[in-house]
Copies of this chain bind each other. A is one copy, B any other.
């Protein structure tokens, strides 16, 4: 009376794997090795779908079912590869940081530390404009993992320390004297972030008939003008 009939048609989606160019070269290695690689490929497949939907629809509108449908999988399957939605977005979070840090790497060629410092802000703003969704994920979304200090933010720490180094170089050249380098770094980052955050949460729209680009560009230039006097 109370029993429920479970009728599941467990169609293993090997056809997907075999037809997908991501799953090739499976013959010339050990089985355990191949299994492990297939699992990693599957993670990539899920992550790619998640990124695609996320970048198109934004964070809140990306559901586990959307992701599953995108790769012709069942929603439950994703949980075999990822603990929960949080883990997927942690990966994308990290991806965003790697993208941003990659752009900041270009500044290694800039000799003058103050020029480098000023360029950091320009790169941040450019990044936020081009990758609004990544920026939201990286800085403006409630942390799902609850354990913020578990290492999910380790990559953020790296970026901060890098900027701290730049500030200290500036100070060695006589700039920003009598400023605590750590709090000064925090302040610079906050100011840049403030501009990006207002933009990414659509709080720049009715700022005295100026376009987003104008506000961010000239707003940051005003900050740079202040820095130049310090």
Contacts and interface: CB of A to CB of B under 8 A. Distances in A.
A40 interface: no
A194 B183 contact: no
Given A205-B148, A210-B182, A220 B187 contact: yes
A226 B230 contact: yes
Contact of A149 (B189, B206, B219, B220): B206
Contacts of A187: 191, 195, 219-220, 222-223, 226
A205 B193 CA distance: 16
A33 B190 CA distance: 51
Interface in A201-230: 201-203, 205-208, 210, 214-215, 218-223, 225-227, 229-230
Given A186-B215, A215-B183, A230-B225, A148 B206 contact: yes
Interface string A60-101: 100000000000000000000000000000000000000000
Nearest to A215: B186
Interface in A139-173: 139-143, 148-149, 153, 156-157, 160, 164
Interface in A6-31: none
A186 B205 CA distance: 12
Contacts of A197: 139-140, 190, 193-194, 197
B207 A186 contact: yes
B222 A142 contact: no
A140 B135 CA distance: 13
A215 B179 CA distance: 14
Interface of A: 58, 60, 139-143, 148-149, 153, 156-157, 160, 164, 179-180, 182-184, 186-187, 189-195, 197-198, 201-203, 205-208, 210, 214-215, 218-223, 225-227, 229-230
10 contacts: A60-B142, A140-B197, A142-B201, A153-B205, A183-B221, A187-B226, A190-B198, A191-B191, A193-B197, A225-B230
